Amino acid sequence: MQRAADWFGEALAELRASRDLCATGHWSWCCFTSQQAAEKALKAICEHFRSPQFGHNLNVLIDAVEQHVRVDNSIRTACARLNRYYIPTRYPDAFPQGVPAEQYFESDAHQALDDAEQIVRFAERAIQSS
């Protein structure tokens, strides 16, 4: 059974959550859910091409996507930025002191959200054009 639509639907849901988190000042969680939205969007592309992928590394996922569609440098850059948010946004031991919620700023959240939106739009185009 093809699950591309499910993966893409979850990407959209997590993107909406990211917007809500950004609007309410939850910067670290906006960064994390933006990474998650991008991950689900990339996995949707892979599922669409019947090449399911596992793991959370966006750099690895975008390499898998590139086996099927052309990937611009801007998408690779967005993946690299978002990749940094998978673990440290949630775990206090990722930093010498302080909680993750105190380590991220509004500018981080806005950039993460922009990157996630770009990747989700890329995924939508990749799926629709094939």
Encode pLDDT of 1-58 as tens digits.
579 999 999 999 999 999 999 999 999 999 999 999 999 999 999 999 999 999 999 9
CATH number of residue 50's parent domain: 1.20.120.330
The whole model's pTM is what? 0.96
Domain count for the chain: 1
Range of the structural domain that residue 95 is part of: 4-128
DSSP H stretches of helix in the chain: 4-23, 27-48, 58-65, 73-83, 106-128
Please state, in angstroms and rounded to a whole number, the distance separating the CA atoms of residues 93 and 50: 37
- Say yes or no to pLDDT of 66 above 80: yes
**Using one digit for the tens of pLDDT, what is the confidence trace for 69-98?**
999 999 999 999 999 999 999 999 999 999
